[in-house]
Structure 1
């Protein structure tokens, strides 16, 4: 994903990633990213949690405008409710 984001940024289009693995994302050196503490594959939270998904999307748009320093990773404050891996 980092190479794709780099290519998009090089073309003059701002981009932002969502990551679960901040340390790995730092090594890839993406321009900007948001980190969630959700299980892999659940970047926007549990299925059906529309408000949380909407808020994370709004966070992406907000930080896309606000982050000016390259290689910035912001940890989002959202918590996974219930057990990891349990699908409702």
Structure 2
């Protein structure tokens, strides 16, 4: 049994843009959250403050990795859409 599927490159491009925009939105929300938390952290002393800063460094590192991965996914998705367009053009040229 042969299965088939179809791809609409414009939809893949939309997906690529959505991923990139979502990554930017996540970064903006985290910046907003960080600004709000800074006022609270200023009230903490000693171990509590240091524990928060360590947790924040770890969290920020993981979020940077996630945003880099989302950026790579967005770029790869865009390249896939372009490859479908090019492949379709080559196929059409054979007729």
TM-score, structure 2 normalization: 0.29
TM-score, structure 1 normalization: 0.31
Structure of larger gyration radius? 2
Ranked by relative contact order (alpha carbons within 8 Å, sequence separation 6 or more), the top structure is: 2
Structure with the bigger percentage of helix: 2
